[in-house]
Structure formats: structure tokens, C-alpha cells
Structure 1
Amino acid sequence: MKTDYKGTNTICAHAGELVDKEFKGAVSPLYMSTSYAFEDVPVKRYPRYFNTPNQEALCKKLAALEHAEAALIFGSGMAAISTALMTFLKAGDHIVLQQTLYGGTYNFVVTQLEKYGIEYSFTTGWEVDDFKREIRPSTKVVYLETPSNPLLTITDVKGVAELAQKHSIISLIDNTFASPINQNPIDFGIDVVLHSATKYMGGHSDICAGVVASAHDKIKEVFNTAICFGGSLSDYTVWLLERSIKTMGLRVEAQTKNAMKMAKYLKSNNDIEKVYYPGLKNHPDHEIAKVQMKGYGGMLSFEMKDYIDVSEFFKALKLIKPSMSLAGIESTMLSPTKTSHALMSEDDRRKQGIKDSLIRFSLGIEETEDLILDIEQAISKVKNRTVHA
């Protein structure tokens, strides 16, 4: 969706806002009705048809943020992902998926697609050639995720988009970790952009939502599937999400700065085995990230040395919350093997490089110095317990 606004924060604050014509309030009014007139109206509105006033307004903002023509908002990230996949795939089709994926997406693919006669294959890596090797005559979709969850691998977005275009394949990307603030895949030729809006768009750990953004024709196809699956979002949550997105640019900028500082600190910490963050110059995909990302994001992962008990480390934290999900204003950590990727088998996690010692770290907006002090006291406490055990 094109707007006259040039600045990202201006788009966050103003694109798609509803005008309060009656009272001239500064924020979008909330229309809670689930029943609208059908006679003598230009639009027959119904929540499951994604066309209530608040839904329509928010979708305009989302499209503008992702430089797309249109967007749809869903009840969760997985509702958006599954609906999009089932829109562009049918019996006899094949999909190529990146090896490093969010566990929920992986679980959907391996437990559901075969039921519908859809074949799939995972790449052995995340290079363009890895995708190319898996393409078949029946391949209709390529699916990537960059930065990936939880190892922050970076895939060449433009390269995969060009490969898909060459073979007349639809390209889908999960852009959740980057957010529209740090990456706009449509600018690089990607067809469909997906988000768990629960994360950076919501940003306060109190909203569950998902997004699909694309060209008008593809959104129309997704809509035709979506009205059957019923993954719409309540207007109150839509209104809350529109409110939250107004500060997304400011929040993500602060979180990205914190992540860069934290990655450098963790890299220098002798109790940390390895740090995964594309902003570090020693990250294998750093140069690609520099080209396609405006910022390296507020997410990182790291592995503890073997002598640090991860569970005890979580218990010893005082400020950072050991908590599910990510991208809130508060910093959180979790164990992917116990949470985001628990549905994957141990063997499949090992193939992706996800170890029990791996910790996914979502940086909030706190002062980095306070977060570092919390990490140091927690490590010290765990080490002292080990010594006196």
C-alpha cells in the first residue's frame, strides 16, 4: 500500500488510522459490533470476513509498513502461516522450506501437509543453492525465514526471490524476527510476507495475532481461504494492536541497539561458548545481513559452557524473565528445546544445531548495563552452587 508518508515512525503512528468524526478524538475509535447492516450499505461487514472498520484500518497500516498493496490480520502467527500455505498449495504440489524454521511452522508441515497430498522437502542449509537443489517440476512454493528462529541464520532474500521468479514459484517469508522496521522483503522481490504480530508489532506481551501482506491478487486468494478457516481477530485486539504499532519503530530501535551491545558483551564472556547474532562481524551471514537489513534486530541466541546448568541459570535471574514468546518491552530468555522447538524430535533439533545449552534471548528496552549485571549475578550463583555441591 502506497502512502504519502515517508518516515517509518510516521507510518506507524498515522497510516490507516480511523478518524473519529463524531468527537474528534486523537485515536482511532473502537467499533465492537459483530453484526452490521446489509441493506443499502456499500460494504456488508462481518468479522470473519476481515472487513470490520478496525480490521480494515489496521490492514492498511500493516500493508504500508511492509510496502505491500494489501494485508490481512489473523488470530495468531500460525493462523497466518497455515492459511497462506493452504492457499497456495493443493494436492500434488510440492513446497521447499528452509531447514532452520520456527518449530510451530515445522510441526505444521510435517504433521499436516501429507494429509492433503502435499509433498515437502527441507533444504540442507539456507543458501540459495540449497533451495535450488530441492526444486521439482511440482514445486509451487518456497518458504524462508530470516533471521531464523532460534539460531539467527540469514538467508539471501533477493537471491531466493529471484530463484522463485525464475521457476514461476510463489515465495513466502516469515519476517517476524526482523519486523518491518528492520527488513522489508517485498522490496527484494518476495511475494508474500508473514508475521507473528504477537511479537514486535504487539510488543507488550499481551496480544496474539498474525499478518499476511502481499499484492492485491494474492491477498484475495488468501482471503478466500481465510474465510473458511475462520482465523479472524476480535476488534478489541485489533484496536490494541493498532495502538501498539504506533510505537513499534521506537521500541525496535531501542531493542536492536540493546541486542548489539549484549551480543558484544556475551561474546567476551568466558562462560559463554558461542553467540548467534547477525550484527557481529564474525557471524557467517553478516555481509548478507548488512545488505538486506536496516538493523540486525533485537533477538540473539547463545550457548552456555558445559559447566553452567541452564535450568539453574534461569532460576537465578532476577530481572530478565525466563518466559515464553519474545519481542516484548521486557527482556526474556527461554530454552528452545523446551519451548519454541519442543514439538521437533531431538534428532531434528540436532540437525538444525539446536542444543540443550542454547538460550534464546529477546532484548527489551531496559538499560543494557542492568541486564548484564543480572546475567553476571546469575552465572556467579550457579557456579558457586557447582563448587559447593
Structure 2
Amino acid sequence: MSDDRTRFETLAVHGGEPRPAAGGSVVHPIYQGTVFETAPGSSHGDVRYIRMGTNPSQRHLHDRLASLEGAETAVATASGMAALTTALHSVMAAGDHLIAAGTFYGGPARFLDEHAARLGWTVDTADPSDPATWSEALRPNTKIILTESITNPLIRVGDLAGIARFARRHGLVSVVDNTLATPVVFRPHEVGFDLVCHSATKALNGHSDIAAGAVTGSHPLIARVESALSHYGGSLDPHAGFLLSRGLKTLALRVRAQCANARALAEFLDGHERIAHVSYPGLPGHPDHGRAAALFDGFGSMLSFRPAGGVTAAEALVKSLRLPYAASSLGGVESLVTLPAAGGHSSPAEAEGIEEDLVRFSAGIEAAEDLVADFGRALEP
């Protein structure tokens, strides 16, 4: 099901699925085996082995992921961090330079802070909305420009198409973390990104019950990712892959509901006297609203805001809410709320632009009216 006319909802159910499946089942089976027969004279690429990601269940999931992102191929990993770090390792070598365009979630930020120098990599940061900073950061040994489709937790949208063009013009590999947007909202390969990474633990799976990651891209680039992944051993277990594939079938329904909930809550909070600031690209006053409207199909399921009254008010609000769980993940069917400065980001909050009173909200699929009512009650004096 790869016809360009096929709608995303249909791709989510049927994309990458073999028909007929083994034994006529409409659900692809779990091949839990680690070892498979290999005919004499076969090449290394014909070997089916679980660490290499070539178990039949793993290959099935790769086809599904590639279909959703509109990529030539894909590989699944044991976590989102495994996806991103393996993608970087597949391109970077000692002596290479990377441009990090954005304020990143704590995992990637800590990885670059703590390991880049030891690996012989140099890193410069840049503003994803300001092309002049990309040029200033560019060096003769630059190999990658890395960004996020929606930044976490500040909820900004950079000049994504511009970053992809910049990378192509200078012979760089463009890498984007598309976890917050998901392919329902944005498909980075369509604007020219080379590698797209996901923490599939989040919205792709959508049920807060597995850890997984994904990298999509061209055959040559993903072959390099697969090689690095095999050496580092970060392949995804077939049973977790089965749960992820099952979650993908409802991805469009879940994410569209989450986006609608996030927008409803953002609009409610934006006009509330006890809220000082709301960051959600679906709001006309958001600095990236026009860019998001042009690039995205929807505005995402995440928003951040700052209550009037500082960190004391923020902590009291989180404690008073009844529906969202106070937890640091995102993308599940349940709404989650957290204070990012209290954990999950590596650098001091002030240096990251993450104030102590910043609240991050990940919308679930509850009724929007109930979420708004819960926040309205919690914000009462």
C-alpha cells in the first residue's frame, strides 16, 4: 500500500503489511527465534539473525515504519536514544563536526555533552530558525546537521525545509528527531531530510508499555545505520516490535485526537488570567505559527506554558490536576504533565531557556472538555 494517493489512515493500517500473511492471518506473527537456517552459498545480507535486525518480525516492522515516513527503508532500535546515537555513529568519525540546531531533550543533550569529545567529535549549536547561525557554525569537517521537528520542551518549529536545503547544499547529512510531530503531522523526508529518528516509545507505540526507536531513510544510509546497530547491539526485540506494529495501526486516530486536545487546552490557557505564557504552534500568536501551518498537518500534541506566580504556582497546579499523570514521557493515550526544569534536561534551566516554572503538557485522548475542566478547576484561586 504505497500509492501516493493512499491516505495516511489507510497506510497506518495496511502500509508495509505482506498480503497474504503467514497462514492467512491478518495479523503478522511474532517470530521470536534468534536463529534461522541459511542456505549454503548465501551472502552475509541473507543471514537472518535477531541482533542484525533481520528476523522476519523485525523486517516486517521496518517495512511498516518506512511506509509511514515515506522512506525507502527503516530500522527499529531498542530505544529512541539507540536510534539517534546509532544514526550519529553511522556518519560521524573521530575528527568530524556536528551542528546541533535547537535546544534538545535531555537524552541527546547529555550524550553530546558527555561523549562527543571522547569520541573525537566537535559540536556547535545553532538556532534552527536563523540560517545565519548555520553558516556561522559550518566547518570544513562538518558531517551532520541535527534538529527536531518540534523542540522539546519549548515547543518551537524551526526552518525545517531550510535546514534540509542547507544540508544538501553543503554535502551534510540532515538528521531530524520527529518524535513530537510524528509522521501524522510532518513527514521530514518530503522536505529533503536524510535520516528521520523517533523515540517509538512515545506516540508511535502510544500506550506507554514498551521502549523502542526507529530510523528511516535511504537504502545506503540505513545500511550504515544497520551496520552500526549490529555492532552496538541495540536491535529491537521481536515481541516489542509486534506491540509497536500494533500501535502504529491506530497512530492517525490517536495523534489527531491528541492534537485536537492540545489545541483546545492551549486556547483555553492562552486566555486565562492565571497563565503568563503559552507555547503551542497552533495559536496565531505563536512565533512559528505561520511556518507550522505551512509545513504541518496539525500542530502537535504537546504544549508548554508558564503560570502567573512562578514555580510555586506551577508546582501547585501540577499537584492539583486530577486527569493528567505527573510523569515525564509523552505521546501515550493518557495525558501527562511535568516540570522540565526539575528533570530530563541536562544543562542548567537558565542556559537552556527552560525556566523553573515551565510546565509541559502531553495531550492524551481523553475528552477535551474534561481536560479543560480539570485545568479550569486546578487554576481556581
Fold match by TM threshold 0.5: yes
Deviation at 1:133, TM superposition (A): 1.6
Distance 2:16 2:193 in 1: 23
2:318 to 307, 314, 317: 314
- Equivalent in the alignment of 2:79: 76
Q: Determine if contact 2:78/2:213 at 8 Å carries over to the other structure.
A: yes
Distance 1:21 1:294 in 2: 32
Q: Determine if contact 1:20/1:27 at 8 Å carries over to the other structure.
A: no
Could you list the per-position Cα deviations for residues 302-350 of structure 1 after superposition, in whole angstroms to 9, with x for gaps in the alignment? 1111255322322222111111200111111011112321xx232xx32
1:157 to 151, 160, 163: 160
**Equivalent position SS for 1:236:** helix
1:65 to 53, 56, 68: 68
- Equivalent in the alignment of 2:328: 324
Distance 1:183 1:168 in 2: 23
Could you list the per-position Cα deviations for residues 105-161 of structure 1 after superposition, in whole angstroms to 9, with x for gaps in the alignment? 111011001011111111156322222221111111101112100011111111111
Q: Which amino acid aligns with 1:117?
A: G
**Equivalent position SS for 1:71:** strand
Runs of at least 5 residues in structure 1 that lack an aligned partner in the other structure: 384-389
**Equivalent position SS for 1:193:** strand
Distance 1:125 1:18 in 2: 39
Distance 1:50 1:117 in 2: 28
Distance 1:93 1:289 in 2: 32
Deviation at 1:40, TM superposition (A): 5.3
Compute the RMSD of aligned alpha carbons: 1.7
- Equivalent in the alignment of 2:350: 350
Q: Which amino acid aligns with 2:319?
A: K
Distance 1:173 1:128 in 2: 16
Q: Which amino acid aligns with 2:358?
A: L
Alignment of 1:13-92 (within 5 A): 13-18=13-18, 23-39=23-39, 43-92=46-95
Alignment of 1:202-351 (within 5 A): 202-306=205-309, 308-341=312-345, 344-346=346-348, 349-351=349-351
**Equivalent position SS for 2:143:** strand
Distance 1:196 1:4 in 2: 26
Alignment of 1:142-221 (within 5 A): 142-221=145-224
Q: Determine if contact 2:128/2:160 at 8 Å carries over to the other structure.
A: no
Q: Determine if contact 1:99/1:352 at 8 Å carries over to the other structure.
A: no
- Between 357-366 and 20-29, the greater mean CA deviation after superposition: 20-29
- TM-score, normalised on structure 1? 0.93
**Equivalent position SS for 2:116:** helix
Q: Determine if contact 1:334/1:359 at 8 Å carries over to the other structure.
A: yes
- TM-score, normalised on structure 2? 0.95
- Between 35-44 and 267-276, the greater mean CA deviation after superposition: 35-44
**Equivalent position SS for 1:137:** coil
**Equivalent position SS for 2:152:** coil
- Equivalent in the alignment of 1:387: none
Deviation at 1:18, TM superposition (A): 4.5
Q: Determine if contact 1:20/1:29 at 8 Å carries over to the other structure.
A: no
Aligned CA distance change for structure 1 residues 41 and 294 (closer, same or farther; 3 Å): farther
Q: Determine if contact 2:99/2:126 at 8 Å carries over to the other structure.
A: yes
Distance 1:243 1:88 in 2: 31
Q: Determine if contact 2:2/2:11 at 8 Å carries over to the other structure.
A: no
